[in-house]
Amino acid sequence: MPGCRKSLSSTCPVRKGLRRGNASEPPDCSAQCRGREIEASEVTEKAVSQVKTGTDRIVVHPADGEVSGSVRIPGSKSITNRAIALAVLSTGTSRITNPLFSDDTERGLAAAQTLGCKVLVRDDEVEITGIGRQRPVPRATIDVGSAGTIARFLPCILAFGESGEWHLTASAQMTKRPIDGLGAALNQLGDPLEYIENPGRYPITVRGGRIRKSVAHVDGSVSSQYLSGLLLAAPRNATPIRITTDGAVVQSEYVRMTIDCMRRFGARVEASDDLSRIDVEPVEYRATTFDVEADASTATYFAALPAVAGGAIELTNLARASRQPDIQFVEILAAFGCVTEWTGDVGVRIRRPQGLTRLRGGHRFDLNACSDVALTVAALSVFADAPVEITGIEHVRHHECDRIDAMTEVLRAVGARVQERPDGWLIEPATVRRAEVRTRDDHRMAMASALIGIGGSGISLDHPDCVAKTCPTFFELLSGLGLPSDRTAAVG
């Protein structure tokens, strides 16, 4: 059975320098990593760049027949990052099972270690001994790389604690992404955050021991991560914290997921239905054992395979009652004409009926609440029998890249007619052709574009290793399902 196996790209001595997702089976590093305490210095920009420059392009071939098989989806990136943050803020040792090991989560583990946490990595689990409000390392420079979630959570963790000063740097990609909404909210509570170069962007300096007020207003129109970051850290304040919003929070289910995770660690949180008011009581987070469910966003790329190639696939560990908003993609597949069958509380089977020659189009999808599926839905839309309209996703222009513009470029390159709009697209059916396209070093662009190649005439992608952000073995998994790809080595 294919499955995303643990990838410790920067921390594992066996996998240093190994190309991510190489079609050959990577060596099993579990014996060398088991029980080994990682060093924060091991996760460096140099180590990450070494694995990201090993290959130049990957050619994903069209499906040669219907797809058939099952996939165990890796752990949720969003939930893993929340669990790491909560473990750092707790007193005692927390155990996180089934975590995602990827570029983003490794940045979080490295930050925890830098701040003085003991981090122990074992097979399919991580133990973190938290520091609560204490700051045993009161001064440090921490590089968050391109990890957007960590980039929004870490300043809050540092601000709600003892005195100290930390310089936070980021990749060139991350420095283009806004954090001004987070900075404005934090600085309403005191003056913990300072921009070093450009207002509202990384790099930043964060100072602890400066939270003096108890009410902050958060702009949730750009990223729900601003609100989630404040919520995660707020229980460690000495007095209650009230957070308000305008009630219009993008991907608001991620905030509710944050509150669920906080309660697992002992937080006392009361929130209005529209998240316009959230009250957080001061508590001592208690260490716990936390199991990470499958990543619903990553699941979309594999769930979509029968839609573009025919056949059937089973996702063995996807939770039907998941809080993750991208679980709605199963319903979207049904709207396109696929048959979806839950096998119980966990596990779903998707198949494309034999008589469905083209997917059913004519839809208008408002994907504001689950915008991470937008690129996948756009990829499917070119295989529909009528135009598909996608709306409500203007905020994804501020993700790893301008995702609306990026997907417009890909769709036009493969021969689709698409109207780009401020908050989405109108995509018309097309007979797609093979093309060389840019992923813009965006993991979701790479995986969604691969679907177009599989259902069409193949596709050539640059920056294939960007998938390491969420599913390092994405192309290996495709190969295991009979969907091969070929890599082209970089020249020079």
Q: Which residues are catalytic?
A: 372
15 is in an annotated binding site: no
399 is in an annotated binding site: yes
Phi-psi label, residue 141: left if phi above 0, alpha if psi -120 to 50, beta otherwise: beta
| SS3 letters across 346-407 | EEEEEEECCCCCCECCCCEEECHHHHHHHHHHHHHHCCECCCEEEECCHHHHHCCCCHHHHH
CB atoms within 10 A of CB 139: 9
457 is in an annotated binding site: no
- Which of 376, 319, 314 lies closest to 339 in space, CA to CA? 314
50 is in an annotated binding site: no
217 is in an annotated binding site: no
The H or E element containing residue 427 is strand 424-427
CA angle 176, 180, 185 (to 5 degrees): 155
Torsion angle of the four alpha carbons 25, 31, 34, 38, in this order, in degrees rounded to the nearest 10: -70
46 is in an annotated binding site: no
- Which of 485, 448, 447, 480 lies closest to 466 in space, CA to CA? 447
Task: Please answer whether residues 183 and 219 qualify as being in contact, where contact means their C-beta atoms are separated by less than 8 angstroms.
Answer: no
Instruction: Return the structure tokens found at 8.
Output: 């410790």
Place of tokens 């193949």: 458
82 is in an annotated binding site: yes
Task: Please answer whether residues 285 and 89 qualify as being in contact, where contact means their C-beta atoms are separated by less than 8 angstroms.
Answer: yes
148 is in an annotated binding site: yes
173 is in an annotated binding site: no
Q: Is the dihedral of CA 460, 465, 468, 473 positive or negative?
A: positive
CA 397 to chain centre: 16
- Which of 195, 245, 203, 255 lies closest to 225 in space, CA to CA? 255
Looking at residue 224, its amino acid is: S
364 is in an annotated binding site: no
Instruction: Return the structure tokens found at 346.
Output: 């966990």
Place of tokens 């930043």: 204
CA separation for the pair 433, 367 (Å, rounded): 27
Residues whose CB is less than 8 angstroms from the CB of residue 199 and which lie 6 or more positions away in sequence, other chains included: 180
Task: Please answer whether residues 472 and 4 qualify as being in contact, where contact means their C-beta atoms are separated by less than 8 angstroms.
Answer: yes
| Cross-strand partners of 85 | none
CA separation for the pair 397, 77 (Å, rounded): 20
Q: Give, as one character, the DSSP assignment of residue 273.
A: T
443 is in an annotated binding site: no
Phi-psi label, residue 145: left if phi above 0, alpha if psi -120 to 50, beta otherwise: left
Annotated binding residues for 3-phosphoshikimate, written as ranges, equal 77-78, 82, 223-225, 372, 399
Annotated binding residues, written as ranges, equal 77-78, 82, 148, 177, 223-225, 372, 399, 403, 444, 469
